[in-house]
Amino acid sequence: MTHSYYMTWILPSFIVFCANRSFSSNRFVIGLTSKSPFRTISSSVPRIPLSKMALSSCAANNDLASVTDFVRSVRQQVVSTADVKPSVLPHVVIGNEAGDADSILSAIGLSYVKALQNAVDSDDNSKLIVPVVSIPADNLKFMRPETTYLLSDCAGMENVKADVNDLIAIDQQDLLPKQATLTLTDHNFFRGKDGFDWVVTEIIDHHSDEGKHTETCPSSKRAIAFEDSRALVASTTTLVAEQFYASAGTSKMPPSLAILLLGTILLDSINMSPKAGKGTPRDEAAIQRLMDDTDWAQLTLPDEILAIDDDGKKGPAPDTTKLFNQLQNAKFSPEFWNGLTAEQAIRMDFKSFSIPAVDSSSMSSLGLGSILLEMGHSFDKHGSSLIESMARVIEEDQSELLGLMFNTFGNGDQKRRQIALASYDKPTLGKLIDYLTVNTTTTPDLQLEIVHREDGNATGGNGEILHMIWLEQGNVAASRKQVAPILMEFFQKHR
Ligand SMILES: [Mn+2]
């Protein structure tokens, strides 16, 4: 009881006290709603600088000192207030269901930025902001090596792989608020969660806008950096960095947050490789500012990613190429991918999309998984179990189509993409393949070439035959962000 009292009252009060004391004359929050997130970070909105003194005098003792302290205190508050009906609805921030580094770290990063901003905005300091990991807790621990490297090795969240850690994941039902408002990061359509009343009120994303949640999330609250079939930023974490700097004045970003954002932007932009065609000037500007404008000496980074200064000595700052290579190697590690079962590999980075069904009154879905191995190698390695798993996933999800996108790197930034499409509906699959390969008018042209057709004898529970086509994708720059809308368009218009 005393513990609960302390957590529910004293802790928030302390933050309020701290905020009022240190920041009341230094308002640095300009307000999320009052400006376009598409504006560049050199926005001309007048700012009142938050002095470093003010930041450190408060940060020394409260839960906003680092991203790790922040998530720990959020979890403690959630645990201790589980039975208390809040006077203000908690606000959940969550990434997409595939749960890549961008989804998980943009949600954590944006929550922390919002909390930092609220701490100096005395009108709105009572709101509990809860970042939620969008995949099951065990998946993060065991199946996201690049994300756990950033969180534990770089940002100091040491217990990230422990059974009880500081984060809250989507399958930890007891810890999730039953009622909440919601910010979606790295996606813009939340399909809902059984038993939970969550209302989307804000979107921060870089995917094609599916036009959902418009009643509760009007255009002024939709920061969707996607135009003309292209993402305007490679990473949602670039948008998070922009939001921080747009209201921070001269105050520096806590280095524990800076390293999470920096690592994710490097991963998503393929270290700003021009050949990969992902990174944009906004990503470049964010990387520059994170590198130049962070007090790296406050953070102890792993030796293997440290930059070497002019004297040939390792300094406290990260080397962007070393950091990128470390993360990329963790993510694409063949040992890691070869260690997964066929179904784990399919579900590892998986998204499903709603499409109108044949009778056009109901909806069905298409699923798209991303596998970081070569396609032929994957089918050889798993043999029939990969095809059987594909059949099972199609049945479980009641999908019309399952696509597996195989994505590998050769030496340097040599990229290769392949797609395997599978469906029980042979005529529709045939039409789709024609749509994609014969006189195609899709934007962009995926430059697909058929390499193999198979009418698999992986009969599922219903005894039907699974039809499958393997394709080589010549346009190696086109990721799921481009491929998914093309497939959706086919099902909407041409079936
Ligand atoms: Mn993303």
pLDDT tens-digit profile, the chain (495 residues)? 334 333 333 333 334 333 333 333 233 333 333 333 333 333 333 333 343 333 433 332 348 999 999 999 999 998 887 777 777 889 999 999 999 999 999 999 999 999 999 887 755 556 899 999 999 999 999 899 999 999 999 999 999 988 889 999 999 999 999 999 999 999 999 999 999 999 999 999 999 999 999 999 999 999 999 999 999 999 999 999 999 999 988 889 999 999 999 999 999 999 999 988 899 999 999 999 999 999 999 999 999 999 998 888 999 999 999 999 999 999 999 889 999 999 999 999 999 998 877 766 677 889 999 999 999 999 999 988 999 999 999 998 889 999 999 999 876 567 899 999 999 999 999 999 999 999 889 999 999 999 999 887 655 556 789 999 999 999 999 999 999 999 999 998 877
pLDDT of 235: 98
- Measured in Å, residue 315 CA sits from the centre of ligand 1 at 30
pLDDT of 314: 92
- Measured in Å, residue 95 CA sits from the centre of ligand 1 at 9
- Measured in Å, residue 99 CA sits from the centre of ligand 1 at 9
Torsions phi, psi of 231, nearest 5?
-75, 135
8 A C-beta contact, residue 106 and residue 264: yes
The CATH 3.90.1640.10 domain(s) of the chain lie at: 2-321
- Measured in Å, residue 103 CA sits from the centre of ligand 1 at 6
pLDDT of 82: 73
- Measured in Å, residue 210 CA sits from the centre of ligand 1 at 15
pLDDT of 410: 73
- Measured in Å, residue 102 CA sits from the centre of ligand 1 at 5
- Measured in Å, residue 185 CA sits from the centre of ligand 1 at 8
Peptide bond into 86 cis (omega under 30): no
| Identity at 114, one-letter amino acid code | K
pLDDT of 142: 87
DSSP states of 359-414 = TSSSEEEEEEEEESS-HHHHHHHHTHHHHHHHHHHHHHHTEEEEEEEEEEE-STT-
> CA 301, 305, 309, 312: dihedral to nearest 10 degrees?
110
> For residues 34 and 180, what is the distance between their CA atoms, to the nearest angstrom?
23
- Measured in Å, residue 234 CA sits from the centre of ligand 1 at 7
- Measured in Å, residue 264 CA sits from the centre of ligand 1 at 9
- Measured in Å, residue 308 CA sits from the centre of ligand 1 at 30
> For residues 339 and 64, what is the distance between their CA atoms, to the nearest angstrom?
38
pLDDT of 53: 31
Tell which residue, 100, 72, 139, 46, has the closest CA to residue 328: 100
- Measured in Å, residue 133 CA sits from the centre of ligand 1 at 14
- Measured in Å, residue 148 CA sits from the centre of ligand 1 at 17
Residue 226 burial by Cβ neighbours in a 10 Å radius (0-12, 13-18, 19+): middle
pLDDT of 118: 87
Which residues are CB-contacts of 485 (< 8 A; sequence separation ≥ 6)? 208, 229
- Measured in Å, residue 186 CA sits from the centre of ligand 1 at 5
Residues whose Cβ atom is located within 5 A of ion ligand 1:
102, 186, 236
pLDDT of 35: 34
pLDDT of 354: 86
Question: Domain 340-493, what architecture?
Answer: Roll (3.10)
- Measured in Å, residue 87 CA sits from the centre of ligand 1 at 33
- Measured in Å, residue 481 CA sits from the centre of ligand 1 at 9
Q: Judge: domain 2-321, CATH 2.60.40.2130.
A: no
- Measured in Å, residue 24 CA sits from the centre of ligand 1 at 36
- Measured in Å, residue 345 CA sits from the centre of ligand 1 at 19
- Measured in Å, residue 236 CA sits from the centre of ligand 1 at 5
The CATH 3.10.310.20 domain(s) of the chain lie at: 340-493
- Measured in Å, residue 265 CA sits from the centre of ligand 1 at 9
Tell which residue, 264, 326, 252, has the closest CA to residue 296: 252
